[in-house]
């Protein structure tokens, strides 16, 4: 492995971390969580197995870091700022559907393996729960924004609206539409926008 220009320790450490996480993600997707060994990750990242353990503490730690990288405070702050700038309820729904659809396109190969491994591995289940919690927090903020705009259907609370958003925009919902029904993602997101508009807005 060739260190980045300058060879500074911090840069090299980040370069190594990125290489290990990238290798882990690729191997998890191609071979599944249980079909991937730490030695395989080390070989793909061109580091020693001990370095993999130092960075992630093993496979479960690497998986957790991959998911944490997708649910950072910075990303959540960007989402909140974007929501606060929207004043049309239909735009709020469009943005959250397009955002979850884009995230699904990026993360679904890995999340398929997470869902498959979670029943057999408690550490993987914890990572899956963390990913779901991050998504639900974003959906709760979406429901809250609709409520601030006075746009929710009469009698629908923020908590109930969050549940409706979760039912339509969770990974399970996208897997049903794209895997089970075979819908292309644009068809799925278009349908979801229509359904959420009818279910949520006054």
Q: What is the 3-state secondary structure (H, E, C) of the chain?
A: CCCCCCCCHHHHHHHHHHHHHHHHHHHHHHHCCCCCCHHHHHHHHCCCHHHHHHHHCCHHHHHHHHHHHHCCHHHHHHHHHHHHCCCCHHHHHHHHHHHHHHHHHHHHHHHHHHHHHHHHCHHHHHHHHHHHHHHHHHHHHHHHHHHHCCCECCCCCHHHHHHHHHHHHCHHHHHHHHHHCCCCHHHHHHHHHHHHHHHHEC
Q: How confident is the model at residue 76 (pLDDT cuts 50, 70, 90)?
A: confident
pLDDT value for 9: 77
Phi and psi for 201 in degrees, rounded to 5? -90, 145
Q: Which residues pair with 201 in a beta bridge?
A: 152
User: How confident is the model over 139-163, as pLDDT tens digits?
Assistant: 999 999 999 999 999 999 999 999 9
Instruction: Match 């609206």 to its residue by tokens.
Output: 161
Average pLDDT over the chain, rounded to whole? Answer: 91
Q: How confident is the model at residue 73 (pLDDT cuts 50, 70, 90)?
A: low
Q: Residue 71: pLDDT above 90?
A: no
What is the rounded average pLDDT of the residues 7-26? 88
Instruction: Match 């239909």 to its residue by tokens.
Output: 90
Q: Residue 61: pLDDT above 90?
A: yes
What is the rounded average pLDDT of the residues 82-106? 93
pLDDT value for 3: 52
pLDDT value for 69: 81
Q: Which of 142, 34, 159, 165 is nearest to 84 (CA)?
A: 142
pLDDT value for 5: 54
Q: In this structure, which topology does domain 71-200 adopt according to CATH?
A: Tetracycline Repressor; domain 2 (1.10.357)
Is 9-62 CATH 1.10.10.60? Answer: yes
pLDDT value for 161: 98
Domain limits of the chain? 9-62, 71-200
């Amino acid at each position: 492995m060739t260190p980045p220009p300058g060879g500074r320790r911090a840069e090299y450490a980040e370069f190594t971390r990125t290489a290990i996480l990238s290798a882990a993600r690729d191997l998890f997707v191609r071979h599944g969580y249980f079909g991937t060994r730490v030695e395989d990750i080390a070989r793909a990242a061109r580091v020693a197995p001990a370095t993999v353990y130092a960075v992630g503490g093993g496979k479960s730690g690497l998986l957790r870091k991959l998911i944490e990288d997708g649910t950072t405070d910075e990303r959540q702050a960007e989402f909140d700022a974007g929501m606060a700038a929207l004043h049309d309820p239909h735009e709020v729904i469009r943005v959250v559907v397009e955002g979850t659809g884009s995230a699904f396109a990026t993360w679904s190969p890995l999340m398929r393996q997470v869902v498959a491994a979670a029943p057999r591995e408690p550490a993987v289940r914890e990572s899956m729960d963390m990913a779901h919690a991050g998504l639900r927090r974003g959906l709760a903020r979406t429901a809250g924004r609709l409520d601030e705009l006075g746009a929710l259907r009469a009698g629908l609370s923020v908590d109930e609206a969050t549940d409706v958003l979760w039912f339509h925009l969770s990974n399970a919902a996208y897997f049903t539409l794209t895997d089970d029904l075979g819908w292309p993602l644009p068809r799925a997101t278009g349908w979801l926008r229509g359904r959420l508009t009818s279910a949520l807005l006054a």
